[in-house]
């Protein structure tokens, strides 16, 4: 059996993995080339030995952090099933699990089975009927309501996470790696530790992973996250004075563009429309559709309109009050008038009807 550490690009999941690749001697001349630095491999292939499944340390590099897909609601024609939304790791996103015969109340600490292992979470809502999941991705179960022993074990893990954070940060400095450690998470069953980090460039942390595996004696995963996920994990207060949306209730990061700020007549000042992560604030997306609908009912600036006081040109639009300021043809600035949208007509519409 030959073994080599290779860099694997898995396109369908948009991630890069550094893993050991095992290949039998009788297949050395087939398929995979050990001399290539970057190859595409099929995880379903018999030649692909997954270190994670084999119980060895695995280091994973992803561009954006996303929790496992447990609990995404998927429409299905087979009806509805009882589900409970559970918030893991104290962050905003909620995943749905099957309560089975358990009695779950909102706020209960529960032990759940995820694709990443056993986890503790908090029931974010009461059990409710939701569309069933497809058979190919069945709903994961809630194993039990957390006992006092479970809660004590969870708190012990939090102390271990703090200790692991300090040790790992020192190791990163020792190896001189250009990466910033953001957080550490122990799986509830202590079978795996995940280290979240940010970096501007691709990091070769294989030596670091081996070192951490020898220190903590468990499976190790290093996961690269983006600046928005970093803000979500750390938490804080926005310029509105409230906790970050991503840390409290936001279920996913949706694209936000500068056009959304312009459509709401906001000042295009980066300091005013950017969040703590340095990206455009997620809340710009909340009212975007409402502003788009409002704009359809009002004329644009510089449009020619008819008012009860005569014709003029639109110089200002107030989307919230649904009024427009019109500069009448008969005079200068002093003859500007403010009219509700119901009292004006665009000239092009008027001429089109005649």
Helices (H), 123-147: none
Domain limits for position 25? 2-56
The full length of the chain comes to 354
> Cβ distance 186 to 115 under 8 Å?
no
Query: Cα(210)–Cα(220) distance, rounded to whole angstroms?
Result: 9
How many domains, the chain?
A: 4
Residue of 339, 285, 272, 287 whose CA lies nearest to 312: 339
| 114 falls within a domain | yes
- Are 304 and 324 contained in the same domain? yes
> Cβ distance 195 to 171 under 8 Å?
no
Query: Cα(159)–Cα(183) distance, rounded to whole angstroms?
Result: 13
| 246 falls within a domain | no
Query: Cα(230)–Cα(182) distance, rounded to whole angstroms?
Result: 7
Residue 232: per-residue pLDDT: 84
List the chain pLDDT tens, one digit each, 354 residues. Answer: 433 333 333 333 333 344 444 444 444 444 333 333 333 333 344 433 333 333 333 333 322 333 334 444 444 445 777 888 888 877 767 888 888 888 888 889 999 988 878 889 888 888 888 777 665 667 888 899 999 999 999 999 999 999 999 999 999 999 899 999 999 999 998 889 999 999 988 888 889 999 999 999 999 999 998 888 888 888 889 888 888 988 888 877 888 888 898 888 888 888 889 988 888 998 998 888 888 888 888 888 888 888 888 888 888 888 888 888 888 887 665 678 888 888 888 876 544 443
Residue 203: per-residue pLDDT: 85
Tell which of 262, 290, 318 closes a domain: 290
| 205 falls within a domain | no
Helices 206-216, 148-175: inter-axial angle, 10-degree rounding: 140
- Are 309 and 328 contained in the same domain? yes
> Cβ distance 204 to 181 under 8 Å?
no
Tell which of 273, 290, 307 closes a domain: 290
């Amino acid at each position: 059996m030959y073994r080599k550490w290779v860099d694997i690009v898995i396109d369908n999941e948009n991630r890069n993995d550094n893993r050991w690749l095992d290949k039998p001697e009788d297949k050395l001349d087939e398929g995979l080339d050990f001399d290539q630095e970057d190859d595409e491999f099929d995880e379903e292939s018999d030649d692909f030995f997954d270190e994670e499944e084999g119980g060895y340390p695995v280091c994973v590099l992803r561009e954006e952090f996303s929790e496992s897909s447990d609990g995404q609601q998927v429409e299905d024609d087979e009806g509805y099933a009882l589900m409970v939304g559970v918030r893991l790791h104290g962050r905003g996103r909620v995943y749905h699990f099957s309560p089975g015969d358990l009695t779950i109340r909102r706020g209960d600490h529960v032990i759940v089975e995820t694709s990443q292992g056993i986890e503790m979470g908090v029931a974010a809502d009461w059990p409710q009927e939701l569309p069933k999941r497809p058979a190919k991705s069945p709903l994961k179960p809630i194993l039990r309501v957390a006992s006092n022993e479970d809660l004590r074990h969870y708190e012990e893990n939090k102390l271990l996470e703090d200790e692991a954070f300090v040790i790992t940060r020192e190791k990163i400095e020792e190896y001189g790696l250009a990466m910033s450690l953001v957080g550490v998470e122990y799986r509830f069953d202590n079978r795996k530790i995940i280290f979240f980090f940010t970096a501007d460039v691709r990091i070769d942390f294989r030596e670091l992973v081996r070192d951490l595996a020898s220190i903590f004696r468990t499976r190790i995963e290093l996961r690269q996250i983006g600046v928005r996920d970093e803000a979500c994990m750390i938490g804080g207060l926005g310029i509105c004075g409230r906790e970050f949306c991503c840390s409290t209730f936001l279920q996913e990061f949706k694209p936000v563009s500068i056009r959304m700020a312009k459509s709401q007549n906001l000042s295009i000042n980066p300091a005013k429309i950017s969040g703590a992560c340095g990206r455009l604030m997620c809340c710009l997306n909340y009212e975007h559709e409402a502003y788009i609908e409002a704009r359809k009912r009002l004329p644009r600036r510089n449009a020619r309109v008819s008012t009860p006081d005569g014709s003029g040109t639109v110089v200002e639009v107030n989307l919230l009050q649904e009024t427009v300021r019109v500069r009448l043809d008969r005079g200068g600035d002093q003859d500007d008038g403010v009219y509700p949208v119901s009292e004006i007509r665009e000239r092009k519409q008027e001429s089109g009807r005649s």
